[in-house]
Amino acid sequence: MNNGNNIAGLEKIIGCDFKNEDLILEALTHRSYLNENSGWRLPHNERLEFLGDAVLELAVSEELFKKYPDAPEGKMTVLRAALVNYQMLAKIGGELRLEDFILMSRGERAGSPKAKEVIIANAMEAVIGALYLDAGLAAAENFVKKFIMPHLKEVLETGSYKDAKSELQEIVQDKMKITPSYRVLEETGPAHERQFKIGVYFGDTLIAEGRGESKQEGELEAAKEALKEFK
């Protein structure tokens, strides 16, 4: 999809017909596309991504809450993190062929696989935000049940929920009754080769730092450093 008009293919894949097609087009518009197409009539997808992130967390939280009536908060938290992290969302986006429909610059389309993962994951969240606005919470929840929750079995079998961020969160919630937070300390490099320095905080205290080609990768590296405090 290069002209922004062929969204019927994606609607068929996800099983949804948008009443307001501008919403799904906006969800598929990466910031870089506007640099090469100044006449494009819609904004980039970052606002929908922000909304979709919250809707996704709510929908997955509710599914886990119902599925595991006796599970403690910490267990549900790490399972949710494994289902909504950017690697998982990029993987599911790949299954949905989402990259074929995302509007991005030529530079981004030719970029590294890791950078592309982040773009696809963010677009997944934006699509969920668009579904929520177009058809309500039930439609977004159905999307999550259909495409995201089936990966729970894989998460449990492979232990992929035990990544550094999840492990750190479980330990800190148990020992200190707080949730680690992450902040961008520095961004360097051109848009297609961005480097992020991320700090992990316990409350207002900076505990460790990490670097990566995406915020998510930087967060994982910061969490690995912070875990050394507990070894």
Nearest alpha-carbon partner for 77 in 154, 143, 172, 157: 172
Nearest alpha-carbon partner for 194 in 115, 105, 80, 83: 115
Task: Identify the architecture of domain 163-231 in CATH.
Answer: 2-Layer Sandwich (3.30)
Query: Which residues have a Cβ under 8 Å from the Cβ of 207 and sit 6 or more positions away?
Result: 180, 199, 200, 201, 225, 226, 229
Q: Which two tokens stand for residue 162?
A: 């035990």
Which option is the CATH number for 1-161: 1.10.1520.10, 3.30.460.10, 3.40.50.620, 3.40.50.720?
Answer: 1.10.1520.10
pLDDT of residue 192: 67
Sequence spans of domains, the chain: 1-161, 163-231
Active-site choice (26, 49, 53, 221): 53
Dihedral sign, CA of 54, 56, 58, 60? negative
DSSP letters of 91-152? HHHHHTTGGGT-B--HHHHTS-HHHHHHHHHHHHHHHHHHHHHHH-HHHHHHHIIIIIGGGH
- What pTM value is reported for the model? 0.76
Nearest alpha-carbon partner for 26 in 127, 138, 139, 132: 127
pLDDT in tens, 88-112: 999 999 999 999 999 999 989 888 8
- The answer to whether 118 touches 86, Cβ cutoff 8 Å, is yes
Active-site choice (63, 125, 163, 221): 125
Secondary structure (3-state) at 163: coil
pLDDT of residue 17: 93
pLDDT of residue 231: 63
125 is catalytic: yes
Q: Which two tokens stand for residue 140?
A: 């977004």
Task: Give the separation between CA 57 and CA 182, rounded to whole angstroms.
Answer: 17
* Sheet containing 181-188: order of strands: 181-188, 195-202, 205-212
Written as one letter, the residue type at 51 is L
pLDDT in tens, 109-154: 888 888 899 999 999 999 999 999 999 999 999 999 999 999 999 9
- The answer to whether 175 touches 194, Cβ cutoff 8 Å, is no
Q: Which residues of the chain have pLDDT under 70?
A: 1-5, 160, 192, 231
22 is catalytic: no
Task: Give the separation between CA 54 and CA 133, rounded to whole angstroms.
Answer: 13
